[in-house]
Chains A and B, each alone.
Chain A
Amino acid sequence: MISWRAIAAAILLVTAPALLAGEIPSDARRSGYAFMGPDTRAMQDDDTANPGMLFVLDGEQLWKKKTGSADRACADCHGDARTSMKGVAARYPAFDKDLGRPVTLDQRINLCRDNHQQATPLPYESRDLLALSAFVGHQSRSSPITAGDDPQLKPFVDQGRGLFMQREGQLNLACTNCHDDNFDKRLAGAPITQGQPTGYPLYRLEWQTLGSLERRLRSCMSGVRAQAYDYGSPELVALELYLMSRARGLPMETPAVRP
């Protein structure tokens, strides 16, 4: 006897062939926004209350400011970010042909500084780098995430997926143990999210500042008592890439606010 369940299951199999075991189907993907309380949501939704917007405003100034020995501003090449940067952050990390590997938005900003502005790189998590990446990311607000679509990225997405599935640290836990298998449950009273990186760099109330996805990943790694990968390491970039591809279709929220 063919039940409606079997038919539904067959349809699901046919329509979602690319999904790997344990992965969250696209219509079930939920931003961290959906897991937080009304006060934090209101703070994100109101640009005058969202502390991340202060970084966006700083980033706008930096975008126009000439810097480096080339004495050139981002705007001198890219023009008005509202058009030139729209949707760009939703595609990052992106494949860099010269390097033959994916680079994050932070790394892209520093490559631009090095190659086109002849300026020194901005340190990871520095105010200026976060401000620039928040400003560029903000131009993609509401754009659906499409990172990882470039076929050249496939081996790096796979590497990131492998790291996501890998148990590590003294507590011997993988990202997937919480963020695929146990979202909606509570860890010490706080809801576990799906780990969808929709709003980075984001303002974290716990940090009292803006921070990158890499900072968040490193903090999870310390949480399971693992040796965190260095900022900009191929492993963190691959994880970031996998997470963005796993969030495919969700709208960007930069700068998001999270507890």
Chain B
Amino acid sequence: MIHIAVLISASLACSASADELVPYTIVGDGIAVSLTGSSGDAARGRALVLARTTTCILCHSGPFPETRFQGDLAPDLAGAGNRWSASQLRLRLVDASRFNPDTIMPSYYRNDGLVRVGRNFAGKPILSAAEIEDIVAFLATLRD
């Protein structure tokens, strides 16, 4: 009985900590400060963009000759680093709906206000703060 109670409270504590997002401040049309306090790793970011689990490549295409499975529901990522600053890219990943409430781009760093989220995903953002920073670092390198 006690063991079960301990387990339950431990798991609750666990999920509660998983629920907490790093606070961020929007300045103008971006988030100027890194969510992790340090800059991301562009090579890891490239691998993340290409991993289907992050969902980027399902809708976007980009300068990725090694993969055939790219989407065309969203703009090509080539030149993203020319079009947007790191600060703008960060906010677009965190919450693209700020720019267009009807966008189909998910808010990658959000864990509330969602409907019927699957059990394995409930309370969690799609990407962690570190993953967002890696992807921002990579996208910033995509210059024409």
- CB distance A187 to B117 under 8 Å? no
Interface locus among B32-40, B69-77, B80-88: B69-77
Contacts of B124 in A (CB 8 A): 170
- Which of B71, B104, B106, B119 contacts A186, CB < 8 Å? B71
Q: Looking at chain B, what size class is its interface with the partner chain?
A: 20 to 34
Question: CB-nearest residue of chain A relative to B104?
Answer: A177
- CB distance B106 to A189 under 8 Å? no
Q: Mark A170-190, 1 if CB is under 8 A from B, else 0.
A: 111100011001100111111
CB of B68 within 8 A of chain A? yes
- CB distance A185 to B118 under 8 Å? no
Interface locus among B6-14, B21-29, B52-60, B129-137: B52-60
Interface locus among A4-12, A26-34, A46-54, A161-169: A161-169
- CB distance B118 to A173 under 8 Å? no
CB of A219 within 8 A of chain B? no
Whole-angstrom distance from the CB of A191 to the nearest CB of chain B? 10
- CB distance B119 to A227 under 8 Å? yes
- CB distance B117 to A188 under 8 Å? no
- CB distance A170 to B114 under 8 Å? yes
- Bound form: Cα–Cα A178–B74 in Å: 12
Whole-angstrom distance from the CB of A54 to the nearest CB of chain B? 31
Whole-angstrom distance from the CB of A197 to the nearest CB of chain B? 21
CB of A84 within 8 A of chain B? no
Whole-angstrom distance from the CB of B56 to the nearest CB of chain A? 10
- CB distance A170 to B68 under 8 Å? no
- CB distance A226 to B115 under 8 Å? yes
- Which of A166, A177, A178, A222 contacts B115, CB < 8 Å? A166
CB of B107 within 8 A of chain A? yes
CB of B89 within 8 A of chain A? no
- CB distance A225 to B70 under 8 Å? no
CB of B126 within 8 A of chain A? yes
Whole-angstrom distance from the CB of A176 to the nearest CB of chain B? 10
- Which of B71, B121, B126 contacts A188, CB < 8 Å? B71
Contacts A187-B59, A225-B121 given; does A172 touch B106 at CB 8 Å? yes
Whole-angstrom distance from the CB of B38 to the nearest CB of chain A? 26
Q: Would you mind naming 27 contact pairs between A and B with Cβ atoms under 8 Å apart?
A: A167-B115, A168-B115, A169-B114, A169-B116, A169-B117, A170-B106, A170-B114, A170-B118, A170-B121, A170-B124, A171-B55, A171-B106, A172-B115, A173-B104, A186-B72, A187-B71, A188-B57, A188-B71, A189-B68, A189-B70, A189-B71, A190-B69, A222-B118, A225-B120, A226-B115, A227-B117, A228-B118
14 additional A-B pairs beyond A187-B58, A189-B68, beta carbons within 8 Å, are A169-B117, A173-B106, A186-B72, A187-B71, A187-B73, A188-B71, A189-B70, A190-B69, A222-B118, A225-B120, A226-B116, A226-B118, A227-B116, A227-B118
Interface residues of chain A, those whose CB is within 8 Å of chain B, are: 166-173, 177-178, 181-182, 185-190, 192, 222, 225-228
